[in-house]
Structure 1
Amino acid sequence: MSDSYRVAILGATGAVGTELLELLESRNFPVAELKLLASPRSAGRTLQFLGEDLPVEAVGDRSFDNVDVVLASAGGSTSKAWASKAVDAGAVVIDNSSAFRLDPGVPLVVPEVNPEAAATHQGIIANPNCTTILLAVAVWPLHQVQPVKRIVAATYQSASGAGARAMEEVKTHTSAILRGEDPKPGIFPYTLAFNLFPHNSPMTDLGYCEEELKMLNETRKIFGAPDLRVTATCVRVPVLRAHSEAINLEFEQPFPVAKAKEVLVNAPGVKLVENWQTNYFPMPIEASGRDEVLVGRIRQDISHPCGLELWLSGDQIRKGAALNAIQIAELLVERHLLKPTTPAFSK
């Protein structure tokens, strides 16, 4: 009988939580038992897994007893409140919030980039920010061939990054505007339908919002390059799902476009998408629901002999969040870093 594991999803009813549930099933993760945890207001709901209705429980002090791995996606404050309790109960926590990403004792992992970091965990592994994950998957293969000196990123971030309620707000606001109404913002500070604005995370004294600084600091940590020069401008756009990014890379020496394409065609987690004759390049509508990061429009930066430009789109809920967490869990299984439980989940 193959090894299997007792899994808990913290934040099971959110956009990422429900995606985690679907991915556990579709990727055949070896689940012995599955526990769905959320806030008290969601307790009593049921969600389906392998054809069975499972109850959603309010998270509490005994929620992590007899759990091997916790997939947490319920926000930073919730993770700070419960992660240590899960670890004390013997579980490994894969956390999708920003709570532990820059903690020097917590590995920040993108499996296509730094899988070896997962082995250094002390009970918690952090899932990077969505925009950082997408950038890392696309840029790391090039960085391996020739180290990147500087990264300049502009992001075009969908409503999904703010959760299921934000996605619904864009839908309802779009309908309201088409009816000639003037909808009032709720989740976002401004109406996102037919609009865009700089990312709504808190502004810092540096003039960068927190989302922009996440890209800078997290990319440095994942790449193991504390002096890497990174700058970003993050923007919310009226797209439901999947983020896009325009990325400018500076190298020590020229990086031929043909070589960059060859590298990316063979890179894990990447799909090259470009047709120059038809101006067909990655689009969020095509990245939605896909596991790969779509990369294209790779071209020489005509303002710098050692510069490359590229464009990408990736599903924020999948590779930018839930899928990366599941891949980390699979990595732990593959490298025997989780203590197994048997038998496997059955109806």
Structure 2
Amino acid sequence: MGYRVAVVGATGNVGREMLNILEELNFPVTEMHAVASRKSKGIEVSFGDRTVKCESIDSFDFSTVDLVLMSAGGDASREWSEKIGKAGPMVIDNSSAFRMDPDVPLIVPEVNPDAIKLATKKNIIANPNCSTAQLVVALKPLHDAAKIKRAVVSTYQSVSGAGKAGMDELWTQTKAIYGLGDARPKHFPKQIAFNLIPMIGAFRDDGYTEEEAKMWAETHKILDPDIQLTVTCVRVPVFVGHSESVNLEFDRPISPDEAREILREAPGVLVVDKAEADGYVTPIDAAGEFAVFVSRIRKDPTVENGLNLWVVSDNLRKGAALNAVQIAQLLDETGMIKPAGGYRTLTV
């Protein structure tokens, strides 16, 4: 049996990646609907070996599907997700709109799968921030072995985290600089080509940005509210793949070798860690991959029971689309959604 699935925001970077990963992971789909704004109606997107024409969210009947993957932004989610949930299907929302709602579980399947039990309160499940997702996948197995007291995280986030407009700006500015053209910023607050921007999201009254606040709030909800966490988020001129420098302080000694062994056995993690010129993972290495990669595991001698890690992942995949599809798999495995669309065919 298969599911009737709608992907909302199907023309965006993450929406297209959701369609790709649903096919790659052979998720049981009987009917696929691509849904987007009215202006995108009729645009064709790929699903497996066929194309699907986008339907308008304003006129789509969500009661005719079993599962909705939302990737249309926070405003659209706030307008539509609860309405869709009340219509019957389960909604997996990629925006920040419901992440901190106490009646909506915020899930990374490798970390807190049991939270899926709360999903029926609103028929909505929240997908975390892309940087949070890869962070908690790396922290969870270590936290289980030796409680993390404090974490200091600096992110190096690719422009794809800002959508197609961010990727276009990096490309356009790079060409303009080489060609002596106009490299003035339009999407980002400052030039992103050959530069770094230590601001993602608006500044809050406490001096932190919204992105930084999301990371600690979501980590507390998913993993442990007692972890003291401070974050600096930086946009970097990389197209795909987020990286994180992570400094951890534990409640007991944990050696780099022990940490490597723990992480090698952890779901969703790949350890690539040798003291060699190519013994670590970069964003280019992680692009297109499912795993959260951990490298540069080493002792921090400046604090008691301290370790440093380098964590890299494809933000469009594990940071967004892959995690959403893994949540869909979890719903299927736990029987929290039932197929109503008939028998699945191999070619959809």
**Pairwise TM-score range, normalised by the shorter structure:** over 0.9
How far does residue 170 in structure 1 lie from its aligned partner after superposition?
0.7
**Which residue of 2 is the match for residue 201 of structure 1?**
201
The offset of 1:61, in angstroms, is: 4.9
CA distance in 2, matches of 1:316, 1:277: 26
Structure 1 residues 254, 279: CA separation in 2 closer, same or farther (over 3 Å shift)? farther
Task: Tell me the amino acid that sits aligned with residue 140 of structure 1.
Answer: K
State the Cα deviation string for residues 167-221 of structure 1 (Å, max 9, x = none).
1221111111111223121221222110111123011011110000011100000
Query: Once the 2 structures are TM-superposed, how far is the Cα of residue 256 of structure 1 from its aligned partner?
Result: 1.1
- Partner of 2:324: helix, strand, or coil? helix
1:70 to 68, 71, 77: 68
Whether 1:53 aligns to 2:29 is: no
Give, as a single letter, the amino acid of the residue that structure 2 aligns with 1:73: S
Q: Where do residues 129-148 of structure 1 align in structure 2 (5 Å cutoff)?
A: 129-148=129-148
User: 1:164: how far off?
Assistant: 1.6
Per-residue deviation at 1:226?
2.0
Q: Give matches, 1:71-150, under 5 Å.
A: 71-121=69-119, 122=121, 123-150=123-150
Asked if the contact 1:188–1:200 (Cα under 8 Å) also holds between the matched residues in 2, the reply is no
The share of aligned pairs that are identical, in percent, is 49
Which stretch has the larger CA shift, 93-102 or 37-46?
Answer: 37-46
1:140 aligned counterpart, secondary structure:
helix
What 5-or-longer segments of structure 1 have no aligned partner?
none
Equivalent pair of 2:37/2:58 in contact (CA under 8 Å): no
Aligned-partner SS, 1:60: coil
Cα distance in 2 between the residues matched to 1:51 and 1:278 = 40
- Tell me whether 1:30 sits opposite 2:45 in the alignment: no
SS of residue matched to 1:330: helix
The amino acid across from 1:343 in the alignment is: Y
**1:313 corresponds to which residue?**
312
Counterpart residue type for residue 27 of structure 2: F
Residue 255 of structure 2 is matched in structure 1 by 256
Q: Residue type matched to 1:143 in 2?
A: H
Mean alpha-carbon deviation: is it higher for 133-142 or for 55-64? 55-64
Task: Please identify, of 177-186 and 133-142, the stretch whose mean Cα deviation from structure 2 is larger.
Answer: 177-186
Contact 1:173–1:183 (8 Å) recurs in 2: yes
CA-to-partner distance for each residue in 1:107-143, whole Å, 9 max, x for gaps? 0000000001012112000000000001001111100
- Structure 2 CA distance, aligned partners of 1:254 and 1:279? 28
Is residue 2:191 matched to residue 1:191? Answer: yes
Q: Which runs of 4+ in 1 moved over 6 A?
A: none
Q: Distance in 2 between matches of 1:84 and 1:173?
A: 39
- C-alpha RMSD of matched pairs (Å): 1.1
Deviations 1:77-99, CA, capped at 9 Å, x for gaps? 10011101111110100000000
AA aligned opposite 1:63: D
Q: Structure 2-normalised TM-score?
A: 0.96
- Secondary structure of the residue aligned to 1:198 is coil
Alpha-carbon shift at residue 65 of structure 1 (Å): 2.2
Q: Residue type of the partner of 1:299?
A: R
Per the alignment, residue 156 of structure 1 pairs with 156
The reply to whether residue 167 of structure 1 matches residue 177 of structure 2 is no
* Per-residue deviation, residues 308-347 of structure 1 (Å, max 9, x unmatched): 1000110000000000000000000011110212122545
State the 1:64 CA deviation. 0.8
Structure 2 residue identity aligned to 1:10: V
Q: Which residue of 1 aligns with 2:230?
A: 231
Structure 2: tracts of 5 or more residues without a match: none
User: Is contact 1:215–1:232 with CA below 8 Å preserved after alignment?
Assistant: yes
- Give 1:279 shift: 5.6
CA contact under 8 A between 2:288 and 2:317: conserved in structure 1?
A: yes
Question: Following the alignment from structure 1 to structure 2, what is the Cα–Cα distance between the partners of residues 279 and 57?
Answer: 46
Alpha carbons 1:61, 1:85 under 8 Å: kept: no
